[in-house]
Chains A and B, each alone.
Chain A
Amino acid sequence: MTQLYDCRDAFENKLRELASQDQRIVAVVNDSVGSSKLNQFGQMYPVRLVNVGIAEQNMIGVGAGLANGGLIPFVCGASPFLTGRALEQIKADLAYSNTNVKLCGMSSGMAYGELGPTHHSIEDMAWLRAIANMTVIVPADPVETAQTVEVAVSTAGPMFIRVSRLPVPIVHDPDYHFEIGKAALLRDGGDITLIANGVLVCQALAAAEMLAKEGIHARVLNMSTVRPLDNEAVQAAATETGGILTAEEHTVFGGLGSAVAEVVVSTHPVPMRILGVPGVFAPTGSASWLLEHFGLTAQGIFDAALELVKRKG
Chain B
Amino acid sequence: MKDTQRGNTEKVERLRELASSVRRWDLQVVHGAKLGHVGGEMSASDILVTLYFAVLRIDPSRPDDPERDRFILSKGHSAVALYTTLAHAGFFPLEELKTFAQPLSRLNGHPDRKKVPGVETNTGPLGHGLPVAVGAALAAKLQDSSWRVFVLTGDGELQEGSNWEAAMSAAHYKLDNLTVIVDRNRLQQGDWTEQTMHLEPLADKWRAFGWSVREVDGHDIAELLETFSRVPFEPGKPNCIIAHTHKGQGVSFMRDKAAWHHRVPNAEELATALKELEEVAS
Q: Which residues of A contact B (CB under 8 A)?
A: 26, 47-48, 50, 52-53, 55, 57-71, 73, 88-89, 92-93, 96-99
Q: Is B204 among interface residues, defined by CB-CB distance under 8 A?
A: no
In the complex, the chain A residue whose C-beta lies closest to that of B123 is A92
Q: Which residues of A contact B121 (CB under 8 A)?
A: 64-65, 68, 93, 97, 99
Chain A residues near B127 (CB, 8 Å)?
A: 57
Q: Are A66 and B128 in contact (CB under 8 A)?
A: no
Taking a contact as CB atoms under 8 Å apart, the answer to whether A53 and B142 are in contact is no
Which residues of B from 58 to 117 have beta carbons under 8 Å from A? 66, 70, 112-114
A68 lies within 8 A of B70 (CB): yes
Whether B169 pairs with A65 at a CB distance below 8 angstroms is no
Q: Is B124 an interface residue (CB 8 A)?
A: yes
Given the known interface contacts A61-B130, A61-B131, the answer about A93 and B122 at a Cβ–Cβ threshold of 8 Å is yes
The reply to whether B161 and A68 form a contact with Cβ atoms under 8 Å apart is: no
Residues of B within 8 A of A (CB): 66, 70, 112-114, 120-125, 127-128, 130-140, 142-143, 145, 147, 149, 161-162, 165-166, 168-169, 172-173
Q: How far is the CA of A69 from the CA of B70 in the complex (A)?
A: 9
Minimum CB–CB distance from A126 to chain B (whole Å) comes to 21
Q: Evaluate whether A96 and B139 lie within 8 angstroms (CB atoms) in the complex, with A55-B169, A62-B131 already known.
A: no
**Chain A residues with Cβ under 8 A from B169's Cβ?**
52-53, 55, 58, 62
Q: A68-B121, A71-B142 are in contact. Are A98 and B114 (CB under 8 A)?
A: yes
- B134–A61 CB distance below 8 A: yes
Chain B, Cβ-Cβ closest to A48: B142
Q: Which residue of A lies closest to B166 (CB)?
A: A58
With A64-B121, A66-B139 given, name 17 new contacts (CB 8 A): A53-B172, A57-B131, A58-B162, A61-B128, A61-B131, A61-B162, A62-B135, A62-B169, A65-B132, A67-B135, A68-B132, A68-B139, A69-B138, A70-B139, A96-B112, A97-B121, A99-B121
* In the bound complex, CA of A71 to CA of B138 (Å): 10
Our pick among A53, A57, A71, A92 for the contact of B122 (Cβ within 8 Å) is A92
